[in-house]
Chains A and B, each alone.
Chain A
Amino acid sequence: MTKTKIAFNWASSCGGCEIAIFELGAKLVNLADKVDIIFWPAIMDYKYEDLEAMPDGTIDVALMNGAIQNSENEHIAKVLRAKSKLLVAFGACAYLGGIPALANTTNRDQIFASSYKETPTTENPEKILPQTKTQTREGELSIPEFYSTVKTLDQVVEVDYYVPGCPPVGDQVSSVITQLVDGPLPPKGAVLGASERSLCYECKRIRAEKKIAKIVRTYQTIPDPEKCLLEQGIICMGPATRGGCSSICLDANMPCRGCYGPLPRAIDQGGKMLSALASIFDAMTDEEIQKLADSVVDPIGTFYRFSMARSLMRRTKA
């Protein structure tokens, strides 16, 4: 029996998706009977040249995590696409932009200014900023170009499947890999390892009447662990977010932040959440409504925490 050739790779990411694969534990060892891992820079010594040297279509399934934030990310996404029969956007960043895509609320100049000049711990008297090319005595050095707008994987290459989550939940990862290896393959473009319904359907909390008289932030209160968080005034992304994660954040008494992305027919997760939240404001007059709307700190950062790059607007005015 020929083994399925699998590759894992990362772009602009934190490494959490790689940990999600390690979470398979012993299952990963069993998997080795069926698959050959032929490229995985996070755990073994692979160079990009190794990947570039492979004939096109060598890899059966490639799982790529991380957003596209610089020219290196984009280059490797294109190479991996060419070398792979199936390319999977693995995790919230590759699928939706994830946390890195919150950079779309600012731009390259502002990010450089804050990272290399303004933070209190930065000492940079000559105000040197990253340059893609630098002349040194030994010759020219180059680093990747940093992009002003973070993109999802499918905004730079064609993607076959998506796996949401920050990171994808362990059980789901194992079933997704099994499905991709053993088949039957789902239709192209499918979101794997997640439910088709909102998180609220699998949430165990008690729901009474949906009304919010006051917005409360998580650090200001210890919520009742039995009751719906929205009804306690905490912004929980559950109504606008795909389920399938077994509501682990809610079990830890924390609200959903939306990492499983929009529901199947929703085109914009943040817009849907804005709609869901505002409609349950317990306010009838102009002033009352204004006061509640004003108490939502950072609507974009809250409603599009993981989906900025895949939202309708994609970024703020640069």
Chain B
Amino acid sequence: MATAFEPKIVGFLCRWCSYAGADLAGTNRMKYPSNVSAIRVNCSGRIDPTLVLKALSLGADGVLIAGCHPGDCHYTNGNIKTLRRFKLLQKMLDQYGIDRKRVRLEWVSAAEGEKYAQVVRSMTDEVRTLGPLNWKTKVELAA
């Protein structure tokens, strides 16, 4: 029996805001899809674009990056650096032919459990509509 497509989304969450926000969503027993595998990083500024590309090339259907709101970064401006990289990365994703909706940057504070749940819900829906990325297979088929 064919099962419905469930997207695999890698979530890089900053330790100070977004991971705490996700924690809050959990402790408040909010309901949201389990498609995002959360990885805690010290700062969203730690998210090298290479990590996003690696996730996509190894089978992720989407990547969520979440950090503190601008001005709230624990390391002053790590999140702004992420924003700069993200904007340039989006342009490169266009060239790769990867839909921009597959890689998302969101600001989620430690108090925004509901926002985190909402981001995961909407992103899961969007990526589910886009379908599987299957990058490795695409590369192999284009030999």
Interface residue ranges, A against B (CB under 8 Å) = 105, 107, 147-149, 266-268, 270-272, 274-275, 277-279, 281, 283-284, 286, 289-290, 292-294, 296, 298-300, 303, 311-318
Q: Is the interface of B mostly helix, strand, loop or mixed?
A: helix
Residues of B within 8 A of A267 (CB): 50, 54
B108 within 8 A of A: no
Contact of B56 among A147, A300, A313, A318 (CB under 8 A): A313
Q: Contacts A274-B89, A286-B83, A289-B83 hold; do A317 and B50 have CB atoms under 8 A apart?
A: no
Question: What are 18 sample pairs from A and B whose C-beta atoms fall under 8 A apart?
Answer: A148-B142, A149-B143, A268-B53, A268-B54, A270-B92, A274-B49, A274-B88, A275-B50, A278-B85, A278-B89, A279-B81, A281-B84, A283-B84, A289-B87, A293-B91, A294-B91, A299-B92, A318-B138
Least CB distance, B93 to chain A, in whole angstroms:
9
Within residues 109 to 143 of chain B, which ones have a CB less than 8 A from any CB in chain A?
A: 135, 138-139, 141-143
One of B22-30, B32-40, B94-102 contacting the partner: B94-102
Contact A318 B84 (CB under 8 A): no
Least distance between B42 CB and chain A CB atoms (Å): 16
Nearest chain B residue, comparing its CB with the CB of A318: B142
Given known pairs A147-B143, A148-B142, A317-B138, the reply for A266 and B88 (CB within 8 Å) is no
Looking across the interface, which residue of chain A has its beta carbon closest to that of B48?
A: A275
A317 and B139 CA atoms in complex are apart in Å by: 8
Beyond contacts A275-B48, A278-B89: 13 other A-B pairs, Cβ-Cβ < 8 A, are A274-B49, A274-B85, A277-B88, A278-B81, A279-B85, A289-B87, A296-B88, A299-B91, A312-B50, A313-B53, A314-B139, A316-B95, A317-B96
User: For residue A314, which residues in chain B have a CB less than 8 angstroms away from its CB?
Assistant: 57, 139
Whether B84 lies near A289 (C-beta < 8 A) is yes
The docked-state distance in angstroms from the alpha carbon of A294 to that of B91 is 8
Contact of A313 with B84 in the complex, beta carbons under 8 Å: no
A293 touches B96 (CB 8 A): no
Which B residue sits closest to A285, measured CB to CB? B70
Cβ-defined contact, A271 with B53, below 8 A: yes
A272–B89 Cα distance when bound, in Å, is: 11
Q: Which residues of A contact B41 (CB under 8 A)?
A: none
Q: Find B57's partner among A279, A303, A313, A318 (CB 8 Å cutoff).
A: A313
Contact (Cβ within 8 A) B50 A300: no
Contact B139 A284 (CB under 8 A): no
Among A266, A281, A289, A317: residue with most chain B CB under 10 A: A317
- B135 nearest CB neighbor, chain A only: A313
**Given the complex, which residues of A lie within 8 Å of B92, measured CB to CB?**
270, 274, 299-300, 303
Within 8 Å CB of A293, what residues of B?
84, 87-88, 90-91
Q: Which residues of A contact B142 (CB under 8 A)?
A: 107, 148-149, 315, 318
Our pick among A279, A283, A312, A318 for the contact of B54 (Cβ within 8 Å) is A312
CA distance A296 to B94 in the complex (A): 13
Q: How far is the CA of A299 from the CA of B96 in the complex (A)?
A: 10
Closest CB of chain B to A315's CB: distance in Å?
Answer: 6
Within 8 A of A (CB), among B5-48: 48
Bound together, the chains give a CA A311 to CA B53 distance in angstroms of 9
Q: Contacts A107-B142, A272-B48, A313-B135 known; A278 to B96 CB distance under 8 Å?
A: no
- Out of B53, B87, B138, name the residue touching A312 (CB < 8 Å): B53
B79 shortest CB reach to chain A, Å? 11
Q: Please encode chain B, from 50 to 81, with 1 for each CB lying within 8 Å of some chain A CB and 0 for all others.
A: 10111011000000000000000000010011
Q: List A contacts of B52 (CB < 8 A).
A: 271
| Residue of B88, B89, B139 with most partner-chain A CB within 10 A | B88
Residues of chain B with a CB closer than 8 A to A311's CB: 53
Complex contacts, B138 vs chain A, CB 8 Å: 317-318
Q: Does the CB pair A278–B84 fall under 8 Å? A: yes
B91 proximity list for chain A (CB < 8 A): 293-294, 296, 299
A149–B135 Cα distance when bound, in Å, is 14
Q: Are A271 and B48 touching (Cβ within 8 A)?
A: yes
Whether the Cβ atoms of A268 and B83 lie closer than 8 Å is: no
Inter-subunit contact A317/B85 (CB<8 Å): no
Contact in complex: B80, A284 (CB < 8 Å) = yes
Closest chain-A Cβ to B4's Cβ sits at a distance in Å of 24
Chain A residues positioned under 8 Å from B90 (CB to CB): 293
